[in-house]
Amino acid sequence: MTAALEIVDVVKTYPGEPPVVALDTVSLRVDQGEMVGIVGPSGSGKTTLLHIIGTLDRPTSGEVLLAGVATANMSDRQLSAVRSQLLGFVFQQFFLLDGMTALDNVANGLLYRGVAPSQRRKEAAEALERVGLGNRMHHVPSKLSGGERQRVAIARAIVNRPAIVLADEPTGNLDTKSGVAVMDLVRDLHSEGNTVIIITHDRELASSLPRRISMRDGRVESDERDVQVETEMAAS
């Protein structure tokens, strides 16, 4: 199995007196097609880990490989290219742009790959159909419910067919019902073969994932696979 993500001995310290060690020698491997939850209380280093996996931040030391591509010596510009082509982000606050329709927001997922506008829209429309919002394409975000907004954000994250979808507390701003619907959608994406990494402090959400990596004080506390969930998901 090819590794979608491999991180080796990653350390992240923030300067200060004394320096803050946010990540302390973290190593992990996520295979292609896996669905992984990274859980832990606030301050456990999970957000820092997400930023480093997402190449939004650089580790102090250690190596991050995305789909086999080593990122340690990349320039800022090359890292941007990695994000535009290998990664899809889903944020707790959705981060949709108010001035444009759902369709254009999703099309933005292809903006920095130099894809022509008509092609961007075509693929965005497909992605919106995929998340069940084919009838909301021309709505602006302010006319959508929270759950719909997050689904638009998910469509944006998958429109570039990324190697990894990174979701940071995707249900954190949603009511229970919308949260369940969003998680169902994420599970569907996973079952289609997408690699999904979900960062959450929600133990309940985490318990529904086939693999859970628990963080505490910048270290990986445990990495467990739930065979029961795995078989359930495979059966469904």
Partner 1 sequence: MTVAVAPTLAPTRSRLRPGDVLRVGSLGLRSRRLRTSLSTLGVAIGIAAMVGVLGLSASSQADLNSKIKALGTNLLEVAPGQGFGRGTGTLPDTAVAMTGRIGPVTAVSSLTTVTATVRRTDQIDVGITNGIGVFAADPGLLDTLHAKLADGKFLDAATAQYPAVVLGATAAQKLGITSVGDGLRVYIADKWFDVIGIMQPVAAAPGLDRAAVVGLVTAETYIVGAAIAPATIYVRTADGATDAVSGVLASTINPATPEEVQVSRPSDALAAQQAASTAFTSLFLGLGAVALLVGGIGIANVMVIAVIERRTEIGLRRALGATKAHIRRQFLTEAVLLAGAGGLVGVVLGAIVTAIYANTQHWQVVIPPVAILGGLVAAVIIGGIAGLYPAARAARLPPTEALRSN
For partner 1, the closer of residues 67 and 215 by Cβ is 67
User: 60, 7 in Cβ contact below 8 A?
Assistant: no
Strands 3-14 and 20-31: antiparallel
Among 37, 59, 162, 179, binds partner 1 (CB under 8 A): 162
Q: Among 81, 180, 229, 233, which residue sits at the site for partner 1 (rule: CB under 8 A)?
A: 81
Q: Which is nearer to partner 1, 89 or 221 (CB)?
A: 89
Q: In the stretch 9-48, what mask flags binding to partner 1 with x, by CB under 8 A?
A: -----------------------xx---------------
Q: How far apart are CA 192 and CA 195, in angstroms?
A: 9
Of 15-23, 92-100, 212-220, 223-231, which segment contacts partner 1 by CB under 8 A? 92-100
Which parts of 175-214 interact with partner 1 (CB under 8 A)? 189, 192-195
Taking Cα atoms as reference points, which of 190, 144, 145 lies closest to residue 167? 190
Q: Is 3 exposed, middle or buried (0-12, 13-18, 19+ CB in 10 A)?
A: middle
Alpha-carbon separation of residue 35 from 51, 118, 133 (angstroms):
18, 32, 23
Phi/psi of residue 190, nearest 5 degrees:
-60, -45
Binding-site ranges for partner 1 (CB under 8 A): 2, 4, 32-33, 51, 54, 56-57, 67-69, 74, 76-78, 80-87, 89, 91-93, 95, 97-100, 108-109, 111-114, 116-117, 127, 130, 156, 158, 161-163, 189, 192-195
